């Protein structure tokens, strides 16, 4: 209670002093645009490197322990490349939002949409690697209907356990981050004259829908 009171006191002091009131975010848009562009280019190059590494390893004739080690390495490379491409979409949306709201620079908006398209195409190409990595398994094609459900059905118990552990940890982390996001938006609204109520309502709706979906799914099993 004492620690909570101290934290609450300093937070309210920070809010009342309005440290964010005088910040002009448009002054930093050039640096943010440059940083986001560099990160996007780096992510795409990194995913391309991982894609070529997997292809190179697939062409090598391997047997026994070397084949098992290659499978582990390809799985790690596949995860690295997929993660990189999944980060391209949100960062491209940040670039679009920044330039539509602040600078309205059309070339950067078009560039961000190009990054989105390249990221989506790259993600699809990466998914096609799964069948090449595991040709002995009856894995669904990325273009098939209900691809995610068919891929889950084709996975063994160990793979399902790994996916379940990852998804459950992600579910808990997303809940915590959304709640923290609501609190930060609230403090930002109190610190400045810019109301973030719409953002708070949107995040709250996402939080409620995602939790309802999760618990209703496990409830009806």
pLDDT, residue 61, reads: 75
pTM (whole model) above 0.75: no
C-alpha torsion angle, residues 178, 182, 188, 189 (rounded to 10): 150
CA nearest neighbour of 206 among 177, 185, 186: 177
Half-sphere exposure of 188 (CA within 13 A, CB side): 14
Average pLDDT over residues 141-165: 77
Q: What are the residues whose beta carbons fall under 8 Å from the beta carbon of 111, sequence distance 6 or more?
A: 37, 95
Q: Give the pLDDT band of residue 45 (cuts 50, 70, 90).
A: very high
What pLDDT does 3 receive?
A: 55
**Does 219 have pLDDT greater than 80?**
no
In the predicted model, what is the mean pLDDT of the chain?
79
Q: What is the mean pLDDT of residues 34-42?
A: 90
CA distances from 108 to 34, 38, 101, 111 (A): 10, 13, 12, 5
What is the percent of the chain where pLDDT is above 70? 82
Among candidates 181, 174, 185, 184, which has minimal Cα distance to 209?
Answer: 174
Question: What residue ranges do the domains of the chain occupy?
Answer: 1-147, 155-221
Instruction: Spell out the alpha helix ranges (H) of the chain.
Output: 2-17, 29-58, 65-98, 106-133, 147-154, 157-191, 197-219
Q: At what angle do helices 106-133 and 65-98 cross, to 10 degrees?
A: 160
Backbone angles phi, psi at 60, to 5 degrees: -85, 135
Q: What is the DSSP letter of 134?
A: -
pLDDT band at 163 (very low <50, low <70, confident <90, very high): confident
pLDDT digits (tens, 9 = 90+) for 52-100: 988 888 887 767 666 678 778 888 888 888 889 989 988 898 888 888 8
């Amino acid at each position: 209670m004492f620690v909570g009171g101290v934290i609450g006191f300093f937070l309210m002091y920070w809010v009342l002093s309005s440290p964010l009131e005088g910040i002009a975010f448009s002054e930093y848009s050039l640096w943010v645009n440059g940083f986001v562009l560099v990160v996007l280019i780096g992510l795409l190059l990194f995913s391309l490197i991982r894609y070529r590494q997997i292809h190179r390893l697939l062409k090598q004739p391997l047997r026994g322990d070397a084949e098992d080690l290659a499978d582990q390495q390809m799985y790690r490379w596949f995860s690295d490349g997929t993660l990189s491409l999944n980060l391209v979409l949100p960062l491209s949306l940040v670039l679009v939002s920044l330039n539509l709201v602040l600078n309205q620079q059309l070339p950067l908006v078009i560039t961000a949409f190009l990054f989105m398209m390249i990221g989506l195409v790259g993600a699809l190409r990466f998914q096609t690697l799964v069948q090449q990595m595991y040709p002995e398994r009856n894995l669904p094609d990325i273009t098939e209907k209900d691809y995610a459900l068919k891929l889950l059905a084709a996975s063994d118990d160990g793979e399902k356990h790994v996916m379940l552990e990852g998804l459950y940890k992600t579910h808990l982390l997303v809940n915590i981050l959304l709640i923290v996001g609501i609190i930060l938006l609230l403090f930002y609204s109190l610190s400045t004259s810019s109301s973030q109520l719409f953002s708070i309502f949107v995040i709250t709706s996402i939080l409620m829908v995602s939790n309802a979906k999760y618990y209703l799914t496990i409830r009806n099993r």
